[in-house]
């Protein structure tokens, strides 16, 4: 469960993360990261997975604090995973490092 995955993150991990341009992946199944700082287009961001694996991803556009960006190229109608669960699907294809939000992701639940 994603809850325990989050719990396994140490304070030091998150702390170091928050110091620079950083983002968090909540579950190994996820294809998005959550920005822990405001990011500008072209920023190289240190992405941390819950297991401790860290790698840089260059973001393609402005990603506000708390917003999501793609960790891999995603096709139209491809599922977006956060917390290890599907939170929606892409309205259009997006490249790795692109901003994912209501403008390009859809999810019918609770909307109609």
- The residue ranges that bind another protein (CB under 8 A) are 1-4, 6-7, 9-12, 14-19, 24, 26, 34-36, 64-68, 82-83, 85-88, 100-102, 105-107, 109-112
Instruction: Report the nearest approach of another protein to the CB of residue 53 (Å).
Output: 19
Instruction: Report the nearest approach of another protein to the CB of residue 55 (Å).
Output: 20
Concatenated DSSP letters of 29-94 = T-SEEEESS-B-TT-EEEEE-TTS-EEEEE-SS-B-TT-EEESS-B-TTPEEEETTEEEEEESS-B
Q: Which is nearer to another protein, 89 or 96 (CB)?
A: 89
């Amino acid at each position: 469960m994603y809850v325990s995955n989050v719990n396994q993150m140490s304070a030091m991990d998150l702390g170091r993360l928050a110091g620079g341009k950083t983002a968090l992946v909540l579950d190994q199944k996820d294809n998005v990261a959550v920005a822990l700082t405001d990011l500008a287009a072209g920023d190289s961001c240190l992405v941390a997975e819950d297991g401790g694996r860290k790698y840089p991803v260059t973001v393609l556009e402005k990603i506000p604090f708390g917003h999501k960006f793609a960790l891999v190229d995603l096709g139209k109608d491809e599922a977006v995973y956060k917390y290890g669960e599907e939170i929606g699907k892409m309205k259009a294809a997006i490249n790795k490092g692109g901003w994912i939000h209501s403008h390009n992701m859809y999810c019918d639940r609770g909307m109609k």
